[in-house]
Copies of this chain bind each other. A is one copy, B any other.
Amino acid sequence: MNTIPDRSEEFRALQDTLYFIGGKWRLPIISSLCNGNKRFKDIQRSIPGITTRMLSKELKDMELNKLIKRTVNDDSPILITYEPTSYSRTFGKIIQAMIDWGREHREVITEREIAKKV
């Protein structure tokens, strides 16, 4: 590439992504769905700390944003399942980079958290 890097354009792209990820639940939910969890209770169980209320709100927002597909099977009992769309799979690289970072810096973070509490 021969283009001169446009920093303000880079910043906009970075901020757009952060805005879209918005908060700490969206990526873990995508990750959970990509790992094969389909039902509300299974998704909730896989994400430490998420409340029913938060998961319910996020799933609704994510359906509106076409990140997930919600399917209602009209059998008895009614079964509701969630699936990741191909759009949500585009977060794969970001999620993997975050998992790698978290692994590499586990000790440093743990030290910081202890230091904060002391």
Q: Is the CB of B48 within 8 A of A15?
A: yes
Interface residues as binary, A38-67 with B (CB distance below 8 Å gives 1, 0 otherwise) = 000000001111000000000000000100
Interface residues as binary, A11-24 with B (CB distance below 8 Å gives 1, 0 otherwise) = 11111111110001
Give the A interface residue count (CB, 8 A).
Answer: 43
> How many copies, total?
2
Which A residues are within 8 Å of any B CB, using their own CB?
A: 7-8, 10-20, 24, 27-28, 31-32, 35, 46-49, 65, 87, 90-91, 93-95, 97-106, 108-109, 112
A-B contact pairs, 15 of them (CB 8 A): A7-B46, A10-B31, A10-B99, A11-B28, A13-B103, A13-B106, A14-B95, A15-B24, A15-B28, A17-B101, A18-B27, A18-B98, A20-B102, A90-B104, A97-B97
